Structure 1
Amino acid sequence: MEAKTTTCPNCEKETFGNFCHHCGQKQGINRLTWGSVFGELQKRWFGFDNNFLRTVKDLTIKPHKVVEASIEGVRVRYIGPVGYYFLMLTIYVLIISFLDIDMNQFYESMNQSFNPEVSAEQQALQKDWNNFVNNNFRIVAFLMMPFFILGIWIVFKNKGYNFLETAVLNFYGQGHPMLVSIVMMVVYKFTNDGASLLTMTAITYLYLLVVITLFYKGNKLWNFIKGIFGILLGFILLMLFVFAAVYLIGWIFPELLSKYVPQ
């Protein structure tokens, strides 16, 4: 049976099938509806199509399946792990900017809540560190990731996943909880409660532990316990790197750190 020919609405040449063989224009265009307009906006302007909503939904109800799909090569269904992580970071930064939240004040209120008595040198160090993090937030967040990936990879090395496959778990596992962080920043805007950062951190690593527990095969309780050790090992590796970097900077450029040393 011969395929039905149509006239392309774009190049006005005879063609058949779902797409024009001359210019690639999609054939069989339906009438405009609100649904078709919204779908086109999603696809062409926001570039998400249905992947963004599907990624958010599945990372909420079955995160281990998203990790498995990405590792197994089924990457069309979801936004990639690194892309999703940076997307969440970008939305987080935009919300902070939109709400006009002073992050320096946010960190100061948090520090005062948990450590009200600090020396002038410690206050200067905290202020400069907060400024550095605020000005380079996405870079700092990204550079912290390898340490947690390494910690979890070492603890779960016997499971047979390589470093990059473990990275998939971490980028999804730390990217998705930023949705909660966004909500907590809105709460902070109206309450000025510095404990919001502690809540965000706790939820982030609790969610990561859930993903670890569900993803790796074997006893789930043991996976959860090993996940705690993996995250702690990541923190230790990160702190060792920071201390080594500060020591090296202080040795090469002692004048840079002199104002933080008690007189």
Structure 2
Amino acid sequence: MNCKNCNAEVNGNFCSNCGQKTNVGIIDFKYLLSELNNSFFQVDHGFFYTIKQLAIAPGNSIKDFINGKRKNYFKPITFVLVLSTVYALIAGFFDERTMLGDFVSGWNNYENSKVGSNDKILVFQWLVKNYAYAMLLFLPVFSFGSYLSFRKHKYNYFEHLVLNSFITGQQAVIYTFFLILKSITKGSVFIETIYMLFVLGYVFWSYLQFFNNYKKLKTILLTILTYVFYLIFMSLIGLVLSLLI
């Protein structure tokens, strides 16, 4: 039997070469619960390695993780939580709104004149103040969209959740970099346009690598379909919340 992480021959429960468990198993709901239980408050040695690999070859790195090469990587859910928190803290330091903050500002302008809208605003304000948790709440929705779009592929829903967790975490790194750059350039509109295109392009680049057995045009179209599904689902969720609140 060979180790899925380093391909060395293994006898026992752990690889004597790299230390990874012999039985890494598939990524499913049980795996994600185990991750939250074991490493929710840990920052292990794989954190900066994961950032580096996701900057160099995001789709390939995530595919390696899903296929069993997990020893050197940071856990995906913890990864997005930590980096979203860092981004929100730095945005607060520079007195800048996060993306979610910009959305709420627009929502406020629309809702302020409507009767009974205060409860809705409070919900969105909570999401703004708890940006990292908001990202975790939105991730399952986006992942469901990618799962539906690429449903003919071999990956299950929870593997799509891992894929998008790594991508979202790395996007937080990009947001943070451009946030600092924006502060240095005194809020240039040009910088904002570039970083939004950069963030969106990062998703397409990651998907093109991850789903490299598809033709590139098909992957691009299915990625666009993922965003369409996401917008539909978020609109439906917003409608339900509006009716319930």
TM range (shorter): 0.5 to 0.7
Question: Counterparts of 1:193 and 1:143 in 2: how far apart (Å)?
Answer: 31
Q: 1:76 to 1:97 in 2, by over 3 A?
A: same
8 A contact 1:66–1:78 mirrored in 2 = no
Aligned match for 1:147, one of 141, 148, 152? 141
Pair 1:165-2:155 in alignment = no
- For normalisation by structure 1, the TM-score amounts to 0.63
Q: 1:233 to 1:118 in 2, by over 3 A?
A: closer
Pair 1:121-2:113 in alignment = yes
8 A contact 2:87–2:172 mirrored in 1 = yes
8 A contact 1:152–1:227 mirrored in 2 = yes
Identity of aligned residues (%): 20
Question: Counterparts of 1:215 and 1:194 in 2: how far apart (Å)?
Answer: 32
Q: 1:103 to 1:59 in 2, by over 3 A?
A: closer
What's the counterpart of residue 175 of structure 2?
Answer: 181
Pair 1:92-2:84 in alignment = no
Instruction: Kindly tell me the number of residue pairs found equivalent between the two proteins.
Output: 197
* CA shift digits 1:202-236 (9 cap, x unpaired): 43332112111111122122111111111221121
8 A contact 1:107–1:194 mirrored in 2 = no
Larger radius of gyration: 1
Q: 1:129 to 1:187 in 2, by over 3 A?
A: farther
Question: Counterparts of 1:240 and 1:182 in 2: how far apart (Å)?
Answer: 30
Structure 1 stretches lacking a partner, 5+ long: 1-45, 250-263
Alignment map for 1:9-158 (pairs within 5 Å): 47-49=43-45, 51-101=46-96, 107=102, 111=106, 121=113, 131-158=125-152
3-state SS of paired residue (1:176): helix
What's the counterpart of residue 214 of structure 2?
Answer: 218
Give the letter aligned to residue 229 of structure 2: L
Question: Counterparts of 1:136 and 1:85 in 2: how far apart (Å)?
Answer: 13
What's the counterpart of residue 245 of structure 1?
Answer: 241
Question: Counterparts of 1:210 and 1:103 in 2: how far apart (Å)?
Answer: 23
Structure 2 stretches lacking a partner, 5+ long: 1-41
Question: Counterparts of 2:62 and 2:98 in 1: how far apart (Å)?
Answer: 32
CA RMSD of aligned residues (A): 3.3
Question: Counterparts of 1:80 and 1:220 in 2: how far apart (Å)?
Answer: 29
Deviation at 1:95, TM superposition (A): 1.5
8 A contact 1:99–1:189 mirrored in 2 = yes
3-state SS of paired residue (1:159): coil
